[in-house]
Chains A and B, each alone.
Chain A
Amino acid sequence: MALDTPKHSIGQAIVHDSATLHVSGSAQFTDDVSEPRDLLYAAIGMSEHAHAQIMELDLGSVRSAPGVVAVITAEDIPGENNFGAVVADDPLLAYDKVQHLGQAVFAVAATSVNAAREAVLKARITYQPLPVILDARAAVAANSKVLPSETISSGDSASAIANAAHQLKGAVYLGGQDQFYMEGQISMAIPEEGGAMQVLCSTQHPTEVQHIVAHALNLASKDVTIICRRMGGGFGGKESQPAQFASLAAILAKKSGRPVKLRLDRDTDMCVTGKRHDFDVRYHVGFDDRGRIEGVDFDLASRCGMSADLSGAINDRAMFHCDNAYYLPNVNITSHRGKTNTVSNTAFRGFGGPQGMFAIEYVVEEIAAHLKLDPLLVRRRNFYGKTSRNVTPYKQKVEDNVIKQLVNELEVTADYKQRKKDIAKFNRGSTSLKRGIALTPVKFGISFTTQHLNQAGALIHVYQDGSVHLNHGGTEMGQGLFTKVAQVVAEEFQIDPKHIKIMATNTAKVPNTSATAASSGSDLNGKAAQQAARTIKSRLVTFATEHFRVSANQIKFSNNQVHVGTNTLEFSALVHLAYLSRISLSSTGFYKTPKIHFDKKTFTGRPFYYYAYGAAVSEVVIDVLTGEQRTLRVDILHDCGSSLNPAMDMGQIEGGFIQGAGWLTTEELYYDAAGALQTHAPSTYKVPLCSDIPPDFRVNILKHSPNREQTIYRSKAVGEPPLMLALSVFFAIRNAVAANGGRNLQAPATPEAILAALNKAC
């Protein structure tokens, strides 16, 4: 097949397939879909204690409240009362005892949204309070863990540290983060004939929702269909969490015999759904006079909340990223997964990686401060090598290292050296304002570390008029996955993307899918769709060789046409001819990531197919009297391999960076002593606004850097890695704090955290 023609769609900055729908307000999110007749609206009744025995659950006033049609508790669940996908420790509705403040205890369906939400407030629940553990270290101290601790060990860190010329020991706290997808969690369950259930759900993981709804209703998977056209943002928060709300809607629908929609209001959403894990990091490092690390120990404790959820894989990924871009010859990384009486923390863009990376970057900065060296110099001295010093703590060889040249290029384009001098000069002449600058690298491992998840399916139909119907297992949350996969199919058929209809993700179309997560969406689904398209295309080519009596190499697809020998016909005309000749114009496609393997027992192997790289330089200014800070300029150079769509990739880089900057500056999760989250709405939880972005923001995609692995058109995953570029903002603030003698800055660097670090000036 002739595929070497200039790229038709791949690599073009094609606009998001829903862009015109978005701007006109006509893109349908789950709550916008026409409502079925007799629809009921649901609400969740939440626990008022962080840890308590339920002594009495009096829902009489709830049941008799105006408009209430159905009320369910744990006892009303026909099947399994669990939505924990890895460990069965996550009840859909609490029974016997509650384990975090805000946990769902019962649910109500009523004739209006307000009737349901008002009714749940009428519950009278009697609790017997139990001891409460709120933070990760307290949990570890009490041996309260959702999963056993894990260790990665390579070399002999203890003696390497002891024998090093310098040693440093310290601790740092790193806060969590709410996903704050703009569209809250929502599911609409519609009962179907024969006891089957269809659920429209805002989810990154329709297959898992299907399984959990089926288990809850005592149905087989075949009887449950999950559909998601788009999400109003996901960021990991709609990976494992939506199954609970889809199940509650489905149980209420089964009980009432009517369709039920459960849409969480913002405050409920933020109280009952998991967030990014906060970490307490302890480190002990030994290094030489030049700042090269000889040995390092990390002890990580994370707040997992009341259940395991995805905490195992998240904490594993944190461990896998404690090296970032640096060679650690002797290392010991221990990870504790603290069980606390808080909401069960879950996936969030980066999935533990950012926390691991933060740990090593903090250590590198401490080394530079101790030796009074430019942190960039220390970073360079520790970078992975290309031919030696290139094995990770988990024994994967780093084969695609571009960090050195990437950082070299950025250092020049960002004018790092001169600006560092200018900043030093500014700081000498300024007492109340101090500036700071930092350059930080990113090396992020791509693949699900759970091997079997690295698979995907697609289903393509070509209709008689040449238009194409595209289904795959990935979900669209704004990242542009549907656009990219459509580009792949357009490229295979050499037709314009407008001829391709991208369908809602539907478990009835493509089965057994993995979550759209781990940045893997286009890597996996692009390849699966490509394979489906190639199957159909090869049938068309075979047909054409027979029909037109030419050889296959005389057939060329180009620009919505097919050249057959000296004849040219429209793609649609060839398709129609093929139909008349009874050629199948529909095919599935399948893909599994090659090369990866991992032994969880020894924590060694090749968990990642490849790595994505990037680096950023941030410059900030702080006010030493108030701790306020502003980010003034950011320069980014990021590796997307050969970009499938530079506009989409730019969106992921910039958006990920700003989201990461929010995590490390203004976004603070505040729990009170009783375990109540006090920052559960945008009035108190502050995500970045447009005035928070750097007024000087220069972002570039690394050129001429195709993926060395055979990914889809040699592109690289881009969903998560750019978030970690924002570490540069945090370390620039730290740099400014240090200019005033401050130290030990904690994250997020709120004005209060900055002032606290400044107060530690010696």
Chain B
Amino acid sequence: MQGDQTSHNSIRFVLDGAVHEASNVEPTTTLLEYLREDLRRTGTKEGCAEGDCGACTVVVGELEPNANKVSLFTANACLQCLPTLDGKQLFTVESLGEYPDSLHPVQQSMVDKHASQCGFCTPGFVMSLFWLYKSQTRTNYNELLRVLSGNICRCTGYRPILDAGLAMHAYESEREDWLNVPGNDTPQDQHTLQLLSSLDTGTSLALRKSPTDGINYLAPVDLSELAGQYQKHPDATLLAGGTDIGIWITKTFRKFPMLIHTGRVAVLKQISITSKSIEIGSAVTLTQLIPTLLQEFPELDDFLNRFASLPIRNLATLGGNICNASPIGDSMPVLLSLGTELKLRKGNTTRTMALNEFYLDYQKTALQSGEFLESISIPRRAKGSKLGSYKISKRFDQDISAVCASFYLQNHDTGERKIRIAYGGVAAIPKRAYATEEFINRNPINPLNIAKALEILATEFTPLSDMRASAGYRSQVSENLLSRFLQRIWQGETDTRLISVRDYQHGT
């Protein structure tokens, strides 16, 4: 792969109707730094450098495989390493309209609704709304709450911004240039498609500090190259969505001898469904995964849409969430309760492992040197099964769980009851409550046994106190959530829990 035919060595992306080429940049340069410091496109702002405020929101376009179509998504420029933009299309607030005469409909709607005060968060909101404007022909209040879940405004109280979002589709865009996204059939679209296709050379991106140095950033395009290189360079760091690595870069100035990006390996971005399982490539993003998962488990709707924020879900991968091994990662309790298995690869060898065996200790996994997660396998839903997944945090959207719980009950009516109970936030690792599971499997579900189950549960975890919640709160809520799930099974009732305001009527 060192030869010219199989790799290229500069970062190229489409910006404002032309190919932009970036060379001589550190691989850990964030897109935000590059925009503000190198390109002097200062409309994109830094509010937190950790993907939690949305002031740096940009829109990225990606050529869909085997289709003359570009799909768009929002992203936090502060977390994206610049090389991951290679081969893509980028829109920043400067792409949209020029002051003061040619504002985009989204921008005009924001002006007309008095939706900016200090103006610092405004470009980020404009970009989130721009994505929605391009993706749909109309919108509604609840959709807006989801789309804007990654944008903080400290001034307006949001009402005028939501009004601007509701009104924006009534404005027509007169622009006939790069803002037309392929999928429509205008000449400009063809131009963008041609540009993107010209970048789609099927070669890996390999960056070096200087021609005599070794590779410090590699984005392989096939699995064997990825596996081979990682085996050869086990000290390399795998970079998937980068929503954690981005924070290591901006907050701790961490240095990496080599980054290997998984996001260009097509097979790792695929989801396939068999009669037995849902197979998810480790580089599949959460946004990509959610529709498939909801088809199988519709009750996860609220839970999955509260997973980080939309721009984070657009970048973050399921594999990254699993391998980062945080005790408060939101996917693991659900995956543990569903009986998920992992396929691990090292070079040409693979092995499978149940997720509940994967976590050894705080942020320590069973992965060996040079081994990585290839895919995730979730068993298809058992007939008549019940699933309850709960996320408890200080704030409803874009927050980290104090407690995360998931309960999956199979064969409740057939006598061979099987429950899996998994929690995050109550131990050093995401963990199942085996003793409680066993008790419930062996005893009928009734008020007396629910009380006994809760007593057992209390002995299985020793949560910590920190800024998210005290140990006492975590314990009590863990018990209350299991109680709620079991009561519901016992009484045969639907869940009456309070979820997001999305369920309440939006008044006038």
Binding site for B on A (CB under 8 A): 13, 15-16, 18-29, 31-32, 114, 117-118, 121, 180-184, 230-233, 235, 265-267, 430, 432-433, 477-480, 621-623, 625-633, 647-648, 650-651, 654-659, 666, 668, 670, 678-679, 681-684, 686-699, 750-752, 755-756, 759
Question: Are A23 and B110 in contact (CB-based, < 8 A)?
Answer: yes
Known: A630-B504, A682-B152. A16 touches B117 (CB 8 A): yes
**Which of the four size classes fits the interface of chain B?**
35 or more
Which of A232, A480, A656, A692 has the largest count of B CB atoms less than 10 A from its CB?
A232
Known: A26-B43, A233-B120. A651 touches B111 (CB 8 A): no
- The 20 listed contacts between A and B (C-beta, < 8 Å) are A15-B114, A16-B119, A19-B110, A21-B100, A21-B119, A22-B110, A25-B94, A28-B42, A118-B253, A121-B253, A180-B154, A233-B154, A432-B497, A625-B480, A651-B155, A654-B156, A683-B52, A690-B148, A692-B396, A696-B504
Question: Are A266 and B48 in contact (CB-based, < 8 A)?
Answer: yes
Interface locus among B215-223, B280-288, B290-298, B462-470: B462-470
Question: Are A630 and B498 in contact (CB-based, < 8 A)?
Answer: yes
Report which of A31, A121, A650, A691 forms a contact with B145, defined as CB distance below 8 A.
Answer: A691
Known: A18-B119, A626-B392, A691-B500. A25 touches B43 (CB 8 A): yes
Nearest CB of A to B489, in Å? 15
Complexed CA–CA distance, A28 and B118 (Å): 11
Question: Are B152 and A689 in contact (CB-based, < 8 A)?
Answer: yes
Q: Is B394 an interface residue, CB under 8 A from the partner?
A: yes
Which of A32, A622, A695 has the largest count of B CB atoms less than 10 A from its CB?
A695
Q: Is B199 an interface residue, CB under 8 A from the partner?
A: no
Q: Can you name the residue of chain A whose Cβ is closest to the Cβ of B487?
A: A432
Residues of B within 8 A of A628 (CB): 392, 396, 498
Residues of B within 8 A of A430 (CB): 496
Question: Are A683 and B50 in contact (CB-based, < 8 A)?
Answer: yes
Complexed CA–CA distance, A694 and B145 (Å): 12
Question: Are B394 and A630 in contact (CB-based, < 8 A)?
Answer: no
Report which of B36, B45, B398, B502 forms a contact with A182, defined as CB distance below 8 A.
Answer: B45
Residues of B within 8 A of A114 (CB): 253
Question: Are A182 and B481 in contact (CB-based, < 8 A)?
Answer: no
Proximity string of chain B (150-194) to chain A, C-beta cutoff 8 Å, 1 when within and 0 when not: 011111111111100000000000000000000000000000000
Question: Are A25 and B123 in contact (CB-based, < 8 A)?
Answer: yes
Known: A24-B97, A690-B162, A695-B507. A650 touches B394 (CB 8 A): no
Complexed CA–CA distance, A514 and B149 (Å): 38
Q: Top 5 closest A-B pairs, CB basis?
A: A25-B43, A478-B118, A696-B507, A232-B120, A22-B119
Q: Is B240 an interface residue, CB under 8 A from the partner?
A: no
Q: Is B434 an interface residue, CB under 8 A from the partner?
A: no
Complexed CA–CA distance, A461 and B324 (Å): 61
Complexed CA–CA distance, A205 and B205 (Å): 50
Question: Are B253 and A117 in contact (CB-based, < 8 A)?
Answer: yes
Residues of B within 8 A of A648 (CB): 114
Report which of B118, B399, B400, B501 forms a contact with A183, defined as CB distance below 8 A.
Answer: B118
Q: Can you name the residue of chain B whose Cβ is closest to the Cβ of A25?
A: B43
Complexed CA–CA distance, A648 and B394 (Å): 31
Question: Are B396 and A691 in contact (CB-based, < 8 A)?
Answer: yes
Residues of B within 8 A of A180 (CB): 152, 154
Question: Are B398 and A689 in contact (CB-based, < 8 A)?
Answer: yes
Residues of B within 8 A of A756 (CB): 473
Q: Can you name the residue of chain A whose Cβ is closest to the Cβ of B476?
A: A755
Question: Are B156 and A655 in contact (CB-based, < 8 A)?
Answer: yes
Question: Are A432 and B49 in contact (CB-based, < 8 A)?
Answer: no
Residues of B within 8 A of A32 (CB): 42
Residues of B within 8 A of A698 (CB): 507
Q: Can you name the residue of chain B whose Cβ is closest to the Cβ of A263?
A: B46
Complexed CA–CA distance, A692 and B398 (Å): 11
Q: Is B397 an interface residue, CB under 8 A from the partner?
A: yes
Complexed CA–CA distance, A737 and B7 (Å): 63
Interface residues of B in 471-508 (CB under 8 A from A): 473, 476-477, 480-481, 483-484, 496-498, 500-502, 504-507
